[in-house]
Amino acid sequence: MMFDLIIIGAGPAGITASVYAARKKMTLLVITRDIGGQAAWSGDIENYTGYQFITGPELASKFEEHMRKYGIELRENEQVLELKRKNEAVWVKTDKGTYEGKTAIIASGKRSRELGVPGEREFKNRGLTYCATCDGPLFAGKDVAVIGGGNSALDATLQLIRIAKHIYLIDIAPELTGDLVMREKVGESSKVTILNSTRVTAVLGERMVSGIKIRREDKEETLAVEGVFVEIGLIPNSEFAKDLEKNRLGEIKVNSYNGTNIPGIFAAGDVTDVPEKQIIVAAGEGAKAALSAFRYLAQHK
């Protein structure tokens, strides 16, 4: 079947794009590894218009409910391996099949950046994690470390204050870089020790994490922790789109209509070079991308 539109990803951008496309009566397919994207990993959200307070999982659930209302064809737990435009059609190859569309929107988001130190991969899901929202409750009453200094690290720390015994917030930079409100909340807690200008050099343990090695002021020391939360940034999921123009970070370059350098292929959300990686921004970009795809089809019958 030739779809009018294939959407890759079901985070805020992809889900919003699917709702707009469905309302335009476009035949569409959504391909995704999971539903909710980064929104589902967020803790407390206080800046999404219409909700003075909502948790990330709750908001992601509302997004999903809205999408499923339209009976959209969905392929979950599929990983896109390749995307190409051939003979006036867009071909999307996944680990489970190949699909053909007249247009496509890439809304594949980003994934967590790894530390790249000894012990990280060995202890993944054995005390080391990249999602405080998902795994935080497993560390109730324990000493843990959060690695990073931006909003994601601060968000993880704020979640863990309610759960963990003590949190070491370890940042390689001289100062935390996240939003001032979040920095103030973290700084007010007696359960948090902030270690700036500090680098993690190894993750330690036997069967499970038991500590980390850190280097600060040219001195190496060991911190006894039972949990490590890596929050040092994100990498765009754009490798499968080899023909699209990207910036030095691997983000797909888009114009004001969410168009890429290839006609008929659009992109939206965190995978693009649009500044400010926010849920509300991604949702808006998804809406624009769907309207642009609809306009493209109207002009290229």
Fold classification of 2-111+234-299 is FAD/NAD(P)-binding domain (3.50.50)
* Cα–Cα dist 146/142, whole Å: 13
> How is the chain split into domains, by residue range?
2-111+234-299, 114-230
Strand pairing report for 73-75 and 28-31: parallel
- Residue 265 pLDDT more than 90? yes
The answer to whether the CB of 153 falls within 8 A of the CB of 178 is yes
* Cα–Cα dist 20/15, whole Å: 9
Question: Which two tokens mark 101?
Answer: 């569309």
Per-residue confidence (pLDDT) for residue 166, from 0 to 100: 98
What is the residue-wise DSSP string for 24-93?
Answer: TT--EEEE-SSSSGGGGG--EE--BTTBSSEEHHHHHHHHHHHHHTTT-EEE-S--EEEEEEETTEEEEE
Q: Catalytic residue at 179? A: no
Q: Which of 34, 135, 143, 155 is catalytic?
A: 135
One-letter identity of residue 272: T
* Cα–Cα dist 229/215, whole Å: 18
CA distances to 113, 268, 273, 290 from 247, in Å? 17, 15, 7, 23
The answer to whether the CB of 105 falls within 8 A of the CB of 266 is yes
Residues 203-216 pLDDT 10s: 999 999 999 999 99
Per-residue confidence (pLDDT) for residue 39, from 0 to 100: 83
Per-residue confidence (pLDDT) for residue 67, from 0 to 100: 95
Mean pLDDT across the chain? 94
Q: Catalytic residue at 44? A: no
249-256: average pLDDT: 97
Q: Catalytic residue at 218? A: no
Per-residue confidence (pLDDT) for residue 182, from 0 to 100: 95
Residues 26-40 pLDDT 10s: 999 999 999 998 788
Percentage of the chain lying above the pLDDT 70 cut: 100
Per-residue confidence (pLDDT) for residue 125, from 0 to 100: 87
Collapse the DSSP code of 2 into the 3-class scheme (helix H, G, I; strand E, B; otherwise coil) and give the result. strand
Strand partners, 227: 144
Residue (of 211, 162, 219, 214) closest to 189 by Cα position: 162
Q: Which residue has the tokens 């343990």?
A: 205
- Residue 42 pLDDT more than 90? no
Residue (of 39, 40, 3) closest to 21 by Cα position: 3
- Residue 3 pLDDT more than 90? yes
Look up the pTM and report it: 0.82
Fold classification of 114-230 is FAD/NAD(P)-binding domain (3.50.50)
One-letter identity of residue 53: F
Q: Which of 34, 95, 134, 243 is catalytic?
A: 134
Residues 147-201 pLDDT 10s: 999 998 999 999 999 999 999 999 999 999 989 999 999 999 999 999 999 999 9
* Cα–Cα dist 251/301, whole Å: 30
Per-residue confidence (pLDDT) for residue 46, from 0 to 100: 83
- Residue 41 pLDDT more than 90? no
Residue 255 confidence class, pLDDT cut points 50, 70, 90: very high
Residues 61-98 pLDDT 10s: 999 999 999 999 999 999 999 999 998 899 999 999 99
- Residue 45 pLDDT more than 90? no
One-letter identity of residue 257: Y
Q: Alpha helices of the chain — where are they, by DSSP H?
A: 12-23, 56-68, 132-135, 151-161, 180-187, 279-299
Per-residue confidence (pLDDT) for residue 283, from 0 to 100: 96
268-288: average pLDDT: 94
Per-residue confidence (pLDDT) for residue 146, from 0 to 100: 98
* Domains 2-111+234-299 and 114-230 agree in fold: yes
Q: Which of 131, 218, 243, 270 is catalytic?
A: 131
103-108: average pLDDT: 98
The answer to whether the CB of 113 falls within 8 A of the CB of 235 is yes
Per-residue confidence (pLDDT) for residue 87, from 0 to 100: 85
